[in-house]
């Protein structure tokens, strides 16, 4: 499977190159806006396209993931969802009864697995096409502003294990590269079993930063794992990542104004530095 080829590529580039990623807009009809802006500014496209199953957009995400894969790119998918709702507010405002959530036969448990089955079915379509996915569920869990982090670390560890087992064992998904996504704080006590993910990252929107402290902390916490700066706003100069000793495997600005508040000259600098890899310089995998 190409999943192993992608993992081999990521490890071969580790510490030497940084893949450029970009989260797309979740608004229907505007999903290409960020990539079009980047291409207008730089003449290039990102190596990794970030998608989101938000709004139950399973079919749309599968279609765009296939198109991106056909261009030779890498796909990463996150998921803003509630149990009852599928919107960004639902992912933040819902607060389920966790005892019932973990109890088979309850309404809450049924809603959980129903949503997971729909996402897994979409991911199965990508597996059938041999498309690997950097799968980043439950992001910023330790920030505890999304429902999946509100019950604390131990409940979250149970939730992650449940999804991992359901996707890998029940649905037989073998095309996923699991990405554990901390908030910028990386709270102590939120460590997970390293056998349950291949990459780990942190995000921050705190100015133009290479996010060095997070890189060093995650490297110490999870030696041997791929490290990613999976969400950011402003991008620092490429030298910052290498001079400060934090050459993330990939960096990904968020969509909309988070990307477009970057000065075009900074985007041009990132996309034309030989250490930073856009789609045109991404090796086959």
26-53 pLDDT tens trace: 987 899 999 999 999 999 999 999 999 9
Please write the tens of the pLDDT for every residue from 202-223: 999 999 999 999 999 999 999 9
Q: What percent of the chain has pLDDT over 90?
A: 99
39: left (phi over 0), alpha (psi -120 to 50) or beta: alpha
Return d(Cα 227, Cα 14) in angstroms, integer.
Answer: 9
Pairing of β 133-136 and β 250-253: unpaired
Q: Can you give the pLDDT at residue 28?
A: 78
**DSSP E strand stretches across 163-270:** 176-182, 199-204, 226-232, 250-253
Residues 135 and 177: beta-carbon distance below 8 Å: yes
Return d(Cα 75, Cα 64) in angstroms, integer.
Answer: 9
Long-range contacts at 257-261 (CB < 8 A, ≥ 24 apart): 258/205, 258/232, 258/233, 259/22, 259/23, 259/34, 259/37, 259/38, 260/37, 261/233, 261/234
Please write the tens of the pLDDT for every residue from 138-180: 999 999 999 999 999 999 999 999 999 999 999 999 999 999 9
Q: Can you give the pLDDT at residue 27?
A: 84
Tell me: pLDDT of 112 over 90: yes
Q: Can you give the pLDDT at residue 220?
A: 98
Element (DSSP H or E) covering residue 185? none
Return d(Cα 268, Cα 255) in angstroms, integer.
Answer: 17
Average pLDDT, the chain: 97
| Alpha-carbon torsion, ordered 159, 162, 167, 171, to 10 deg | -150
H-assigned helices in 137-224: 153-165, 212-221
Please write the tens of the pLDDT for every residue from 3-14: 999 999 999 999
Q: Can you give the pLDDT at residue 179?
A: 99
Please write the tens of the pLDDT for every residue from 132-145: 999 999 999 999 99
Q: Can you give the pLDDT at residue 129?
A: 98
Q: Can you give the pLDDT at residue 42?
A: 98
Return d(Cα 96, Cα 195) in angstroms, integer.
Answer: 27
Q: At 19, is the secondary structure helix, strand, or coil?
A: strand
47 CB-contact burial (10 Å; exposed 0-12 / middle 13-18 / buried 19+):
buried
Return d(Cα 148, Cα 128) in angstroms, integer.
Answer: 29
Tell me: pLDDT of 21 over 90: yes
Q: Can you give the pLDDT at residue 230?
A: 98
Return d(Cα 125, Cα 131) in angstroms, integer.
Answer: 9
> What are the φ/ψ torsions at residue 209 (nearest 5 degrees)?
-135, 145
Q: Can you give the pLDDT at residue 202?
A: 98
């Amino acid at each position: 499977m190409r999943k192993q080829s992608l993992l081999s590529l990521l490890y071969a580039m580790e510490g030497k190159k940084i893949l450029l990623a970009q989260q797309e807009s979740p608004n229907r009809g505007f999903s290409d806006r960020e990539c079009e802006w980047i291409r207008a500014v730089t003449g290039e496209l990102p190596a990794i396209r970030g998608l989101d199953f938000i709004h139950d957009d399973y079919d749309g995400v599968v279609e765009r993931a296939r198109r991106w894969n056909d261009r030779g790119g890498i796909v990463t998918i996150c998921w803003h969802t509630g149990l009852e709702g599928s919107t960004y507010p639902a992912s933040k405002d819902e607060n389920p009864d966790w005892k019932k959530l973990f109890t088979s036969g309850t309404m809450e448990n049924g809603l959980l697995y129903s949503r997971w089955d729909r996402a897994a079915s979409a991911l199965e379509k990508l597996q059938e096409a041999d498309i690997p996915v950097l799968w980043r569920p439950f992001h910023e869990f330790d920030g505890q502003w999304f429902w999946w982090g509100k019950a604390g670390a131990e409940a979250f560890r149970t939730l992650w294990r449940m999804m991992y087992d359901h996707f890998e064992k029940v649905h037989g998904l073998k095309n996923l590269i699991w990405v554990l996504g901390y908030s910028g704080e990386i709270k102590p006590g939120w460590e997970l079993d390293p056998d349950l993910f291949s990459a780990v990252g942190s995000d921050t929107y705190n100015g133009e930063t290479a996010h060095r402290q997070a890189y060093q902390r995650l490297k110490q916490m999870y030696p041997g794992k791929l490290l990613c700066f999976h969400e950011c706003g402003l991008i620092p100069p490429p030298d910052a990542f290498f001079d400060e000793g934090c050459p993330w495997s990939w960096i990904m600005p968020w969509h909309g104004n988070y990307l477009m508040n970057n000065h075009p000259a900074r985007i041009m600098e990132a996309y034309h530095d030989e250490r930073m890899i856009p789609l045109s310089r991404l090796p086959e995998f």
